[in-house]
Every structure is written in C-alpha cells, then in structure tokens.
C-alpha cells in the first residue's frame, strides 16, 4: 500500500498516512515511510541528472 501511495504521487509522510493509515497508530513505520520517500526522491533526481547536465552544457 505504501509503494502504491508513493507511486500515485504522495511525497510526504502525512500524504502517505492519509492514503494508507501508515504510522497512524504507533508511528513505528514512519521511519520506513521516510526511507521509502527518500529513496524515491533520490531515484527521481538520478533520472533527471543526465537531462540537467545536458541543459547546463548545451
């Protein structure tokens, strides 16, 4: 469910919590959600990196 929420555009722990109820009770999975969001952000930035360097050097 968390992956689906992130795939559907959730970019914050609060957005994932609203979509899935994750970390709503005890908060233990908040760290997992944070890690997953960070990993997605890093992957998206890495995918943009070649485009960004082409724009700078064009």
pLDDT tens sequence across 1-52: 899 999 999 999 999 999 998 877 787 888 999 999 999 999 998 888 776 6
The alpha carbon dihedral of 47, 39, 36, 13 has a sign of negative
Domain that holds residue 51: 2-57
| Helical (H) or strand (E) element with 34 | helix 30-57
CB count in 10 Å sphere of residue 38: 10
Domains in the chain, number: 1
Query: Given pLDDT bands bounded at 50, 70 and 90, which one contains residue 53?
Result: low
Q: What is the pTM of this model?
A: 0.75
């Amino acid at each position: 469910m968390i992956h689906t929420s992130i795939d559907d555009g959730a970019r914050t722990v609060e957005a994932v919590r609203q979509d899935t109820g994750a970390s709503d009770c005890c908060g233990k999975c908040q760290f997992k959600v944070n890690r997953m969001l960070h990993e997605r952000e890093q992957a998206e930035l890495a995918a943009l990196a070649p485009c960004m360097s082409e724009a700078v050097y064009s």
